[in-house]
C-alpha cells in the first residue's frame, strides 16, 4: 500500500513539473500571449479594446486586416499609415479636423477623401480612450499615449536621438515590418 502512495506522489510531482514547464514556455514569448502581440498592427481588434489591450489578445479574436486605399495612399505618402487601433475615435477626429496644421505641415485633403479616411479611422479606432502623457486630451500622437510610453520604456534616449530614428514617430526605423503592420518584438532591430 505504501509503495502505491509513493508512486502516486512521484506521478503528481512529475505532472506538476511538466505543467510548470509548459506554462513557462507558453508565457516566455510575450508576443504570442495575453499582454503583448505587437504584430497585429493593421488587424481589426476583437471585442477587447484599447491599444494596450488590442495588441494583447494574441490569437484570440483576430480577424482580417483593416485597410483603406485612400488612407494608405494619402497618409502613407508622408509617413507610415499608422494603424487606426493605436488611437481612439476622439483622437482620430481631432487629428483629421486639424489637417491644415498637421504637425507643422498642411495636409489638407479634398472633403470627400477626408471624410472617407476619417470614417475608416474612427470605425477601426481603439475603443479605449487613450490617455496622454503631456496633458493634451485627446492625444494627437500615438507616441504621446501612456500605452506607447509603457511599451517603449526600455528604449534609451540615445536611440530616439539616433539620426536613423530621429523621433518616436518613425516606427519603421526599429520595427522592420511596420509598413506591413507588424510591430512584433521579433522584428525589432535597433539602428546603430
Q: What is the pTM of this model?
A: 0.66
For residues 177 and 187, is the Cβ–Cβ distance under 8 A? Answer: yes
Q: Considering only 28-37, 72-81, 138-147, 179-188, which range has the smallest mean pLDDT?
A: 28-37
Q: pLDDT at position 22, please?
A: 53
Give the largest Cα separation in the chain, rounded: 85
Residue 169: Cβ-neighbour burial (10 angstroms; 0-12, 13-18, 19+): middle
For residues 181 and 42, is the Cβ–Cβ distance under 8 A? Answer: yes
Confidence of residue 19 (pLDDT cuts 50, 70, 90): low
Confidence of residue 73 (pLDDT cuts 50, 70, 90): very high
Residue 152 cell numbers, joined: 517603449
- For 139, residues 6+ apart whose C-beta sits below 8 A from its C-beta are 87, 91, 130, 131, 132, 133, 145
**Sequence spans of domains, the chain:** 31-141
Residue 126 cell numbers, joined: 481603439
- For 190, residues 6+ apart whose C-beta sits below 8 A from its C-beta are 159, 174
- For 188, residues 6+ apart whose C-beta sits below 8 A from its C-beta are 174, 175, 176
**Cell 509598413 maps to which residue?**
179
Q: pLDDT at position 107, please?
A: 96
Q: Considering only 27-31, 130-134, 183-187, which range has the smallest mean pLDDT?
A: 27-31
pLDDT digits (tens, 9 = 90+) for 87-131: 999 999 999 999 999 999 999 999 999 999 999 999 999 998 778
Amino acid at each position: 500500500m505504501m509503495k502505491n502512495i509513493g508512486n502516486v506522489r512521484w506521478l503528481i510531482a512529475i505532472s506538476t513539473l511538466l505543467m510548470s514547464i509548459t506554462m513557462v514556455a507558453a508565457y516566455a514569448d510575450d508576443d504570442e500571449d495575453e499582454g503583448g502581440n505587437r504584430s497585429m498592427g493593421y488587424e481589426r481588434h476583437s471585442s477587447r479594446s484599447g491599444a494596450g489591450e488590442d495588441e494583447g489578445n494574441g490569437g484570440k479574436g483576430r480577424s482580417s486586416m483593416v485597410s483603406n486605399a485612400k488612407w494608405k495612399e494619402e497618409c502613407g505618402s508622408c509617413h507610415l499609415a499608422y494603424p487606426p487601433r493605436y488611437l481612439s475615435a476622439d483622437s482620430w477626429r481631432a487629428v483629421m479636423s486639424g489637417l491644415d496644421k498637421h504637425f507643422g505641415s498642411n495636409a489638407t485633403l479634398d472633403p470627400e477623401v477626408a471624410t472617407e479616411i476619417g470614417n475608416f479611422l474612427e470605425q477601426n479606432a481603439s475603443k479605449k480612450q487613450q490617455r496622454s502623457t503631456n496633458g493634451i486630451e485627446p492625444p494627437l500622437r500615438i507616441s504621446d499615449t501612456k500605452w506607447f510610453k509603457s511599451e517603449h520604456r526600455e528604449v534609451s534616449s540615445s536611440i530616439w536621438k539616433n539620426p536613423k530614428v530621429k523621433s518616436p514617430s518613425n516606427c519603421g526605423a526599429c520595427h522592420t515590418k511596420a509598413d506591413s503592420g507588424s510591430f512584433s518584438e521579433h522584428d525589432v532591430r535597433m539602428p546603430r
